[in-house]
Structure 1
Amino acid sequence: MEQPLTLHWQSAERYYTAMLAPDLFGGWVLVTDSGGRDSRGGRVQRKPMPDYPHGLDALRQLRHRRRREGYTLCSSSFTEFERIDAHSPDLRAAESAALQRVFLDWDISLDDQAVLLGIGSTALDSFLDGRPLPDEPVLLLRAKHLLAIHKALRLRLGHVPLIREWLRYPRVELNGRTPLDVMLGTLDDLSNLRGLVAQVSELAADCPGYRASQVTQTTTR
């Protein structure tokens, strides 16, 4: 069963913690925290994982690395998530905040945000105020599709400018439509685009920005 896992290490002067946890984009993230045992400020890093097995492999590599560096593994623990309520206000508030970051990265207008979420102006005002998403099945499903799409784009494209370009570049697989145009359609359209993002191997190969970056890399070698 895929469960969050936390590992804690200590050396004579420092501590190190690694946590493999689910994120709000439909995947897993490895969060690490390190610092001095004398209460000096630590350093927190987040690294998205393609899936749970890759996260476990990253933790195994960390265990090997920390042991070679003289750290002692102090504890490890699984967190049971079976009882988390997907409809709880806290989780819906977290999803609301995550979606606002997504729309900022994608440079989505307010009108299009309302269409993507399938909500009216009053609900959009509540969303922009940071309130929990309404406990409505269709809206929550739209949110999960949007978060999953963003997760895949971050993993496969990485850079925000390239993600924005990909969203607005006509695709052969979409009969000349842009991914953003498709997402602004029906719930089925949104679901189908999520599948496309997961299946297309060369996601941005035909985007001008991607081709330019490849040329730059080639000429600088």
Structure 2
Amino acid sequence: MNEPLTLHWESTGHYRSAMLMPDLFGGWVLVTTTGERDRRASRVRQQIMDSYEDGVAALNRLRHRRRREGYALRAASFTALEGFDTHAESVRAAETYALLRLFTAWDLGVEEQAALLDLDPRALDRLQDGQALRDDATLLARATHLLAINKALRLRFGADAKLKCDWLRRPCPSLQGQTPLAAMQESFQALAGLRERLGVEADQARGCQR
């Protein structure tokens, strides 16, 4: 996506904005801003979205909420929220950008990147040159799983890239001694399974914190 999805509302004395954009380290993030129109100070919040669809749904809820609160929509980067095609080239381009940032954060070589996407290494050159992931259901699902795994690792390790890289390359007993990176490269099923396991662990960790 060349531009983030944005909405901007104003009332008599206040403004609010919301922006859905690719997270630089994978996934999507909803950024909301609140402030007074005659002051520069504002309050900014960021919320990680589980998926692009969840982010669009959150924007849609905000649109209806602001209307009930009496805010007028002053600017938008799109005319309607309904009917967004997640297979559209602009969306695939945004996911490609996030995925390439993920590969950099994970410190992966070309062969490792290609194996994770089940692509010829030469196809990665086209992605680096700005071409979006092709509209292939399995390929896009692989990308989604990888972005979700990266999100789970960020929730576990924070911004410490070294801890994430160490985890990826450390043999794991629950993976029959394989490293998580090797398991993800082995098959689509193993990649999806690792995403599910990390999701369950993240949910359990959040439950313990409540």
Helix, strand or coil: the match of 1:140? helix
- TM (norm. structure 2) is 0.67
Matched, 1:153 2:153: yes
> Could you tell me how far apart the structure 1 residues matched to 2:124 and 2:89 are?
17
Shift of 1:33: 2.9
Matched, 1:109 2:109: yes
Partner of 2:179: 178
Residues 43-122 of structure 1: matches in 2 within 5 Å?
Answer: 46-48=46-48, 74-75=71-72, 81-122=81-122
Shift of 1:164: 1.7
> RMSD of the TM alignment (CA)?
4.1
Partner of 1:189: 190
AA in 2 matched with 1:180: L
Q: Which runs of 5+ in 1 are unaligned?
A: 64-71, 205-221
Higher deviation after alignment, 185-194 or 80-89: 80-89
Shift of 1:155: 2.4
> Could you tell me how far apart the structure 1 residues matched to 2:165 and 2:145 are?
17
Shift of 1:74: 2.7
Q: Name the CA shift for 1:27/1:100 in 2 (closer, same or farther; >3 Å).
A: closer
Q: Which runs of 5+ in 2 are unaligned?
A: 206-210
Q: Is the 1:30–1:48 Cα contact (8 Å) retained in structure 2? A: yes
Helix, strand or coil: the match of 1:180? helix
AA in 1 matched with 2:30: L
- TM (norm. structure 1) is 0.64
Count residues in correspondence.
Answer: 185
Residues 179-214 of structure 1, C-alpha deviations (whole Å, 9 max, x = no match):
11111111111111111111236999xxxxxxxxxx
Q: Is the 1:26–1:144 Cα contact (8 Å) retained in structure 2? A: no
AA in 2 matched with 1:127: L
Shift of 1:29: 3.2
> Could you tell me how far apart the structure 1 residues matched to 2:120 and 2:50 are?
34
> Could you tell me how far apart the structure 1 residues matched to 2:204 and 2:109 are?
24
Shift of 1:7: 7.9
Shift of 1:96: 0.6
Partner of 2:208: none
Q: Is the 1:8–1:73 Cα contact (8 Å) retained in structure 2? A: no
> Could you tell me how far apart the structure 2 residues matched to 1:33 and 1:199 are?
31
AA in 2 matched with 1:157: F
Q: Which has the greater radius of gyration?
A: 1
Higher deviation after alignment, 42-51 or 148-157: 42-51
> Could you tell me how far apart the structure 1 residues matched to 2:129 and 2:44 are?
28
Q: Name the CA shift for 1:114/1:31 in 2 (closer, same or farther; >3 Å).
A: same
Partner of 1:127: 127
Shift of 1:119: 0.9
Identity of counterpart residues, as a percentage?
A: 41
